[in-house]
Structure 1
Amino acid sequence: MDIILNNQAEHLETNKATITVSELLAIKNFTFKMLVVKINGKLVKKDEYAKATIQDGDNVQVIHLISGG
């Protein structure tokens, strides 16, 4: 599967036609607790990560939120 992840072309080794956001986060080892995920510009809520699907050619943004002062 080929996607655009954070503005970079990525090839994911999978036999599936689609993967979930949760699967992508595990594959890419994103473990940070405060993330914003968008698929083709559409925000995905955290409670939808196990259901929201990513397919070949999708543009995915995974953004780490960092707070400070």
Structure 2
Amino acid sequence: MIRVNNRDDVEWREGMTVSDILEQFRYTYPHLVVKVDGTVVQEAAYDTYAIPDGADVRVIHLIAGG
């Protein structure tokens, strides 16, 4: 089981990646920061970064700055 944004529990499966989580939750914002167990995952690694069982995943939408 993994936890997403400290509120949703998701059944873990072998080979699960950051991209899988983004698709499952339909995160479509163009600017996201994803952290897995406190480590920032670069966008280029979303398709290959394996999420371990028991992970804490945080997805943060960047919508404005300044």
TM-score normalised by structure 1 residue count: 0.83
Aligned 8 A contact 2:4 2:10 in 1 = no
Unaligned runs of 5+ in 1: none
Q: CA deviation at 1:55?
A: 2.2
SS of 1:53 mapped into structure 2: coil
CA–CA separation in structure 1 for the residues paired with 2:14 and 2:34: 20
* Higher strand proportion (structure 1 or 2): 1
Q: Percent identity?
A: 39
Instruction: Number of aligned residue pairs: give it.
Output: 66
Which residue in the other structure is 1:45 paired with? 42
Aligned-residue CA RMSD (Å)? 1.7
TM-score normalised by structure 2 residue count: 0.86
Q: Which amino acid aligns with 1:43?
A: V
Unaligned runs of 5+ in 2: none
Q: CA deviation at 1:53?
A: 1.0
CA–CA separation in structure 1 for the residues paired with 2:39 and 2:65: 26
Structure 1 stretches of 4+ moved >4 Å:
none
